[in-house]
Amino acid sequence: MIKEYLGFIGTGNMQQAIIRGVLEGKVVQPDQIVGSDRTPEKLNLLASQTKIRIAKTNTEVVGNAQIIFLGTKPQDLGGVLQEIKNVVGSHHVIVSIAAGFPLSIIKQALPKAKAHVRLMPNTPCMVQSGVIGFFMSPFNSHVERLVSELISPIGQLVTVQDEHGIDALTAAAASGAGFVFKLMESFEVWLIEHGFQKTTAREVAIETFLGAGILAQKEHDKSLASLREAVTSKKGTTEAGLLSMEKSQIDMGLKAALKAAFDRAQEISRDQSLSFAP
């Protein structure tokens, strides 16, 4: 159990995943969490389901917690920083989950805080199977352990040394979930074309990706290449399919998709840096 109080500014999809995760993981008690949101109905519903405390303002959240999660959309975050800058003190750890919002801006706006952290969660965090990028500057192992313990119920924390690492995880893990859905769609469509009902086709696609993922996780001492080779017999069906994938340059296509997402993440960060004047 963590003794600190947690504050959540913006209680939308991603912050709710974190709140529900830390409660289900019994990392904190509901009364150790206080939240605020621009849409009170959303927060009221969440509070009635989880028994967390409601704050009427964002400054009230900061006044009642030590670890402050900033979870509005990036375009709303500038206003929030202005609002809370005079109430953030040296006992606060600021944790931003806003995509493409550089940590340097948050540090500049809230210089008194004890520590500033940037997290990059992906949507599987909503089902406690996420990947969460972690970056802080300057690095502090105590804060890293604290956030890691907090976040552990919703996914795997991956610490990176700089925001280049966060942008790479944005591409591979956050957008990556979208790329996996796209691949699953292809399986689903192909099976429907071969006479399967949509529900069965969807189930087969999901179970194939899920099963392969769980197998790779369980056989963690084996490389992904060796797991692939284990299903690839000479002149067999998998070999035929893999040769076709090679001819279609699937590897190049996926690399290009990852690069496009990475480049876009960097572009968004640059735009935020230029547009925000603390």
Ligand X SMILES: NC(=O)c1ccc[n+]([C@@H]2O[C@H](COP(=O)([O-])OP(=O)(O)OC[C@H]3O[C@@H](n4cnc5c(N)ncnc54)[C@H](OP(=O)(O)O)[C@@H]3O)[C@@H](O)[C@H]2O)c1
Closest C-alpha to 278, from 79, 137, 70: 79
What angle, rounded to 10 degrees, do the helices at 13-24 and 40-50 form? 10
Q: Does 71 bind ligand X (CB under 6 A)?
A: yes
Q: Does 140 bind ligand X (CB under 6 A)?
A: no
Q: Does 38 bind ligand X (CB under 6 A)?
A: yes
Beta bridge partners of 6: 33, 67
The residue within the footprint of ligand X, chosen from 21, 74, 130, 176 (CB under 6 A), is 74
Return the half-sphere exposure (C-beta side, CA atoms, 13 A cut-off) of residue 84: 33
Contact (CB, 8 A) for 34 and 91: no
State both tokens at 106. 């948050």
Alpha helices in 2-57 (DSSP H): 13-24, 40-50
Q: Does 132 bind ligand X (CB under 6 A)?
A: no
Contact (CB, 8 A) for 6 and 22: yes
Amino acid at 164: H
Judged by CB under 6 A, the stretch of 4-12, 146-154, 183-191, 235-243 that binds ligand X is: 4-12
The residue within the footprint of ligand X, chosen from 25, 29, 42, 192 (CB under 6 A), is 42
Q: Does 39 bind ligand X (CB under 6 A)?
A: yes
Q: Nearest to ligand X by Cβ — which residue?
A: 12
User: Taking the complex as a whole, how short is the minimal distance between the CB of residue 77 and ligand X, in angstroms?
Assistant: 7
The residue within the footprint of ligand X, chosen from 2, 4, 12, 229 (CB under 6 A), is 12
| Residues in Cβ contact with 30 at an 8 Å cutoff, skipping those fewer than 6 apart | 23, 50, 51, 52, 53
Q: Does 168 bind ligand X (CB under 6 A)?
A: no
Site string for ligand X, 96-115 (x = CB under 6 A): -xxx----------------
Q: Which residue has the tokens 């999901």?
A: 206
Q: Does 163 bind ligand X (CB under 6 A)?
A: no
Site string for ligand X, 44-63 (x = CB under 6 A): --------------x-----
State both tokens at 57. 């303002």
| Site residues (vs ligand X, CB under 6 A) | 9-15, 36-39, 42, 58, 71-74, 76, 79-80, 97-99, 120-123, 174
